[in-house]
Amino acid sequence: PVIVQPSLRYDFYLLSKEGKMSYFNGSKKELLNILSKKRNDLQSFIKSNKLKTDELRDLVKIIAFYNSI
């Protein structure tokens, strides 16, 4: 028998204060390019907390941190 696992796919768009919407493909490099104003702080936060930008739970933490600094 073939077992089919349902899968769920997310598409993310980030909205800047200026109203610019940017598509986010899940890669760390892309996220750091979109949020480049605080790139060094984000890199340190992601690394020290061992976060993955392609996991929803971690992405929420990263965006919350970005919005707090």
Q: Are 26 and 56 in contact (CB under 8 A)?
A: no
Res 5: pLDDT:
81
Average pLDDT, consecutive stretches of 10 residues, N- to C-terminus, the chain (69 residues): 80 89 92 93 97 92 94
Bridge-based pairing state of the strands 12-15 and 21-24: antiparallel
Helices vs. strands in the chain: H and E counts, helices first: 3, 2
Res 11: pLDDT:
87
- Indicate the pTM of the whole model: 0.80
Neighbours of 24 (CB within 10 A): 19
Res 19: pLDDT:
92
Handedness of CA 46, 63, 57, 14 (dihedral sign): negative
Res 67: pLDDT:
92
Q: Which two tokens stand for residue 67?
A: 């919005």
